[in-house]
Amino acid sequence: MVKYLLSFLVLFHCTYCNNIENYLNLAGDNQYQLIKALNQISTDKRKGLSWLIKRMPLEDLKTLSSEYLLINTTLAYEAWTNSPWFRSIPENIFLDNILPYANLNEKRDNMREELRKMFLPLISNANSPSEAAAILNNSIFEKLNVVYSTKRPKADQSPGESIKAGLASCTGLSILLISACRSVGIPARFVGTSNWYDNSGNHSWVEIWDDGWHFTGAAEPTEFRLNDGWFIEKASKAQKGSLEYGIFAVTWNKVFDNHFPMDWLPGVESYRSYDVSDYYKQGLSDIDSSLVPISFRVFDSEGQRKSKEVTISGPDNFFFRGLSKNEENDTNDHLIVRLPRGRMFKAVVDSEERQFTVMDESQIDFKVD
């Protein structure tokens, strides 16, 4: 039967199926499902499906059904070709950033159609991928009742798992936003670092393609702006070429040497990436080096972060008022104020006061009842 189906592909003149037999052989007993999908997909979409099969993780080659592949490939093409920005999205961007049914190792949900039905109406008036992505980032998490939490079941949750739990890590939130974007024809990819320069931990976020790549924190919208977020300064100190301290963007292409470092699956090198550290290091030019970032955190008696008003006063009539971040914000997302080195300031939370002299980058903690 397999040989018959392969010969059927030849009759279809499957130009994009060159060398695909090698990947079908890797699928073992599941190759029938892949060949069935290739035969049943419409001719105009066969290139995309062939592209996917040649780049799938081995586990997917061995397990994904023809139905799953047909549904996801067909919906991806429909989202791309029916979007207002279709003609501005090159095919290579579509193949790598709309077509894929997953980002990394998350569970293979079949939610593309459901997400499209939910979110397409939200972006009906958007005129660009950037505008549409900003709208989604400002709305979908509240609509789905999903918030950031370190108490989420696991880091690498699929969209369905995050929706069910109502909680997600930065990884799960990014996967959910990317899946929502792709479902409506917005090219999006997963980006992250294994560790910030100061060893404060890892982080994941999202890049959107709109005549170039633009970033945003999932569930961390900066109003309706892209290329902004609490992590800009940390990202600007990334180390190109370092798997630990660099910043990497996931790709399904196999022509690059870098794998994406997954902290939740150390040692697994199945997923490829671009080193995009230099893009984020450019942010250094916009930062005044004469000012020192000081972080402020407020905890309750149980050690949970609280959102409380923090006031800071200092020389030359300096005055600042802001809110500290609570547990619904990323673990490394704090109220940060940049202050001149060598000067003395006073910070107040409720009735507690702290006087401090700014020397090096530091963190000031308050405890409230």
pLDDT on residue 14: 56
- Percent of the chain beyond pLDDT 90? 86
Query: Is the model's pLDDT at 1 over the cut of 60?
Result: no
369 band by pLDDT with thresholds 50, 70 and 90: confident
Query: Is the model's pLDDT at 67 over the cut of 60?
Result: yes
The pair of structure tokens assigned to 207 is 């890049």
Residues 6+ apart with CB under 8 A from 180: 115, 119, 136, 140, 159
Q: Which helix (H) or strand (E) holds 213?
A: strand 213-216
pLDDT on residue 5: 53
| Whether 49 contacts 69, CB under 8 Å | yes
Query: Is the model's pLDDT at 279 over the cut of 70?
Result: yes
* 254: amino acid identity, one letter: K
Query: Is the model's pLDDT at 11 over the cut of 50?
Result: no
Q: Using CA atoms, how far apart are residues 345 and 350, in angstroms rounded to an integer?
A: 17
Q: Which spans in the chain are helix H? A: 2-11, 20-26, 31-40, 46-53, 58-63, 66-81, 91-97, 112-119, 129-144, 159-165, 170-183, 232-235, 277-281
Q: What is the mean pLDDT of the chain?
A: 92
Average pLDDT over residues 87-108: 97
* 193: amino acid identity, one letter: T
Query: Is the model's pLDDT at 17 over the cut of 70?
Result: no
Average pLDDT over residues 122-149: 97
Q: How many CA atoms lie within 13 A of 249 on its CB side?
A: 21
257 band by pLDDT with thresholds 50, 70 and 90: confident
Average pLDDT over residues 352-364: 93
- Higher confidence at residue 42 or residue 4? 42
In sequence order, what DSSP letters do the residues of 149-200 get, joined into one string?
A: -TTSS-SS--HHHHHHHSEE-HHHHHHHHHHHHHHTT--EEEEEESS-TTS-
Average pLDDT over residues 266-273: 91
Among 3-12, 79-88, 231-240, the minimum mean pLDDT is found in: 3-12
The pair of structure tokens assigned to 184 is 């409506």
Q: Using CA atoms, how far apart are residues 12 and 47, in angstroms rounded to an integer?
A: 12
334 band by pLDDT with thresholds 50, 70 and 90: very high
Sign of the dihedral through C-alpha 240, 243, 249, 254? positive
Domains with residue ranges and CATH for the chain: 1-64 (no CATH), 84-284 (3.10.620), 288-367 (2.60.40.2190)
Q: Express each pLDDT in 307-317 by its tens digit.
A: 999 999 999 99
pLDDT on residue 285: 56
The pair of structure tokens assigned to 350 is 């409720």
Query: Is the model's pLDDT at 295 over the cut of 70?
Result: yes
Radius of gyration of the chain (CA): 23
The two beta strands, 362-367 and 247-251, are: unpaired
pLDDT on residue 18: 67
- Higher confidence at residue 5 or residue 91? 91
Q: Using CA atoms, how far apart are residues 6 and 356, in angstroms rounded to an integer?
A: 73
Average pLDDT over residues 67-92: 97
Q: Express each pLDDT in 150-206 by its tens digit.
A: 999 999 999 999 999 999 999 999 999 999 999 999 999 999 999 999 999 999 999
pTM of the model: 0.91
pLDDT on residue 12: 46
